[in-house]
Amino acid sequence: MHRTGLARALSKSGYCSRSSANKLILDGRVRLNGRVVRDPEKPVRRGQDLIAVDGQRLAAAKKVYLVMNKPRGIVTTALDEKGRDTVYSLLPESQLWVAPVGRLDKASEGLLLLTNDSEWGARIASPEMHVEKTYHVQIAAMADEALIRRLTAGVNAASGDRATGSSGDLKSADCLRVKRAAIVRVGKKNSWLEIVLDEGKNRQIRRLLATLGIEVLRLIRIAIGPLRLGDLPKGKVRELTQEEKAALDQAML
């Protein structure tokens, strides 16, 4: 019999976030099989035990899959200790609870997926699935083919040296590389690159370029797997179509 903690069961149902579930339980607003439970880790038999919040029986929420065009200056989190605007400020008040799939840092923009299907979201974000993420990156440098070769070869962020190419080195946290890179256009003082990643190290593109002494001016995610940002206006959100969801599912096979 599969069991999970009460707070996790609430979160998995799509009712709320894990942190919100913890608070509901500690406040005595959650009943398990008719009894108030104040332990967020209380084991629950999913599919058998009855959970109620404020007297209302918990039902599995409809699965929701959203795509957002995240603007710069917005953080990808539910609550921000610094009081900054979050991606949740862009969602309608009537929206069922959803969680971001992966992250875009405050200065980055573009395509962001949100869902209450936590298992699906974890698979999309997992490096093991190798779902490609495509970015357009403006840099304060004149791009050339030597830079493209350096990006794909990889560098060691700790030492600044070229990656050795050994499997252990390439998998280390300090080794940063891209799957593919190409020059989109070159101006008089800056350039645009298209960069494709199939892993998800923290601030990977920014750290890689910083190691090479190159400043990132803008970073826009334009695609996740087959899903393109397209003409979705900045700050807007929409549901994935059935065809888009199916294409993303196929990309994980």
Q: Which residues are catalytic?
A: 105
If you write DSSP's letter for every residue of 191-249 in order, what string do you get? Answer: EEEEEEESS--TTHHHHHHHHTT--EEEEEEEEETTEE-TTPPTT-EEEPPHHHHHHHH
User: What are the backbone angles phi and psi of residue 128, rounded to the nearest 5°?
Assistant: -65, -25
CA distance 162 to 157: 9
Question: Minimal CA–CA distance to 118: which of 104, 134, 97, 132?
Answer: 97
133-139/155-156 β-pairing: unpaired
